[in-house]
Amino acid sequence: MSRLDTLIEALRCLPGVGPKSAQRMAYHLLQRDQPGAARLSAALSEALANLRHCERCNNFTEQAVCGRCADPRHDRSLLCVVEMPADLSVIEQTHAYPGLYYVLMGRLSPLDGIGPRELGLEKLIARASDGQVREVILATNFTNEGEATAHMIAELLDARGVRVSRISRGVPVGGELEHVDAGTVAQALIDRKSL
Amino acid sequence: MSRLDTLIEALRCLPGVGPKSAQRMAYHLLQRDQPGAARLSAALSEALANLRHCERCNNFTEQAVCGRCADPRHDRSLLCVVEMPADLSVIEQTHAYPGLYYVLMGRLSPLDGIGPRELGLEKLIARASDGQVREVILATNFTNEGEATAHMIAELLDARGVRVSRISRGVPVGGELEHVDAGTVAQALIDRKSL
């Protein structure tokens, strides 16, 4: 296999990129943006070598514990569970939440083979049982998968006597947190209900 | 800027990838496909270090002259000009063309600042004037840009006394060669007309 074919094949690891797109991307990079290709190659290997998951919140970080978890100004009694880092950013933008986060890096998705074990829920359980957390706020998406994930986490934490709440259904049903305006997300945080 | 942000930014050099897609791609690679990310990083730097343009046909190759141009079994009196390597593949699949190729690696596109100089047409002129080429067959797309490119090349070669033909308009107007079936492309090759 030529190095061009190897590159085209390698580009297909990107989500949503099929054979034609991969070919177009390879030609574009080689013909029109070699500096961009070099930056991408370096950024990938740098990220792989240096990014890890925060021991406490599971978000991407370059330290053992990320800056947010290490910052003593946040309320350590509140733990908000989100699917992805982008969801965390949306909640931060509301300035309506004083606590800490746990980032699942996904959601339950039986069809894709992602169950509680693959999602690493035991890490969340351990985190929520640290003695400081008094309430876990579930802020997974209001999609079917996000709802199933919230219910599963609620059951697991309930069995361990941890108080659990769910952000209110101010977020449109079927919608994804990332695409909702900050005002609606703020309302959903305020209206959270105990489970 | 964190290494994660650097990676998201670097992914935006890919054509058609905006901020949201880049973010999704970065999370996917880091979370679900680190081996794929490592392969992509290596494939990019390998391709950048080793791929160059064939001295004769301008296609990507790892040698000074590519295998096709070096192969003495092809008819050196025919030179077919295509926009992209994918177009060359389509013509090869027809098994209807015995000659050699010249790959423009693009097309005239004044809006994107790609004129005759940026397209390197002087390299094509030199190639077509090697004394062996008796006919240049223009097989650029039948889009506005492809047609303009064909006309420009025909004028330049005409002025130098090189015989020029255009594949026939069997390819649907507005269509792109890459997406047409081999039979139609074969017909268009056979019906080529002198310009």
* CB-nearest partner of A46 from B3, B46, B47: B3
Least confident of A50-54, A56-60, A110-114, B35-39: A110-114
Q: What is the mean pLDDT of chain A?
A: 90
Domain ranges in chain B are 3-50, 71-166
Answer yes or no: is pLDDT of A178 > 80.
no
Strands B193-194 and A60-61 turn out to be unpaired
Query: What is the helix (H) or strand (E) element at residue A134, kind and residue range?
Result: none
Distance CA A65, CA A57 (A): 8
The two three-digit tokens of residue A139, written as one number: 């802020």
CA distances to A80, A144, A166, B186 from A136, rounded to whole Å, are 6, 20, 8, 66
Give alpha helix (H) positions in chain A.
Answer: 3-11, 19-32, 34-50, 67-70, 85-94, 121-128, 144-158, 182-190
Residue-wise pLDDT tens digits, B52-69:
999 999 999 999 999 999
The two three-digit tokens of residue B38, written as one number: 């490592």
pLDDT for res B190: 75
Burial class (CB in 10 A: 0-12, 13-18, 19+), A68: middle
- Judge whether A52 and A62 are in contact, CB under 8 Å: yes
Beta-carbon contacts of A103 under 8 Å, excluding residues fewer than 6 positions away, are A57, A58, A59, A82, A83, A84, A85, A87, A88
Higher pLDDT, A1 or B76: B76
Q: Is B52 on the interface with A (CB under 8 A)?
A: no
Residue-wise pLDDT tens digits, B123-154:
999 999 989 999 999 999 988 899 899 999 99
Answer yes or no: is pLDDT of A143 > 90.
no
Least confident of A25-29, B149-153, B188-192: B188-192
- Residues in B touching A3 (Cβ below 8 Å): 43, 46-47, 50-51, 62
Answer yes or no: is pLDDT of A63 > 90.
yes
For residue B59, which of B32, B38, B34, B84 has the smallest C-alpha distance?
Answer: B84
pTM exceeds 0.80: no
Was domain A3-50 assigned CATH 1.50.10?
no
* CA torsion angle A67 A71 A73 A76 (round to 10): 100
Q: Which residue has the tokens 């990310």?
A: B37
Residue-wise pLDDT tens digits, A1-18:
889 999 999 999 999 999
Distance CA B113, CA B2 (A): 34
The pLDDT of A113-125, averaged and rounded, is 92
pLDDT for res A194: 63
Are A13 and B21 in contact (CB < 8 Å)? no
- Residues in A touching B36 (Cβ below 8 Å): 10, 13
CA distances to A148, B168, B195 from B176, rounded to whole Å, are 45, 14, 21
pLDDT for res B170: 66
Answer yes or no: is pLDDT of B47 > 90.
yes
pLDDT for res A27: 93
Give alpha helix (H) positions in B33-143.
Answer: 34-50, 67-70, 85-94, 121-128
Answer yes or no: is pLDDT of B174 > 80.
no
Q: What is the mean pLDDT of chain B?
A: 90
- Residues in A touching B84 (Cβ below 8 Å): 27
pLDDT for res B46: 96
Helix axes B34-50, B19-32, angle to 10 degrees: 110
Prediction ipTM score: 0.75
Which B residues, 11 through 40, put their C-beta within 8 Å of a C-beta on chain A? 11, 13-16, 20-21, 23-31, 33-34, 36-40
pLDDT for res A133: 94
Burial class (CB in 10 A: 0-12, 13-18, 19+), B175: middle
Beta-carbon contacts of B175 under 8 Å, excluding residues fewer than 6 positions away, are B141, B142, B143
* CB-nearest partner of B13 from A2, A23, A40: A40
Fold of the A71-166 domain = Dna Topoisomerase Vi A Subunit; Chain: A, domain 2 (3.40.1360)
Are B6 and A43 in contact (CB < 8 Å)? yes
Distance CA A184, CA A194 (A): 19
Percentage of chain B modeled with pLDDT above 70:
95
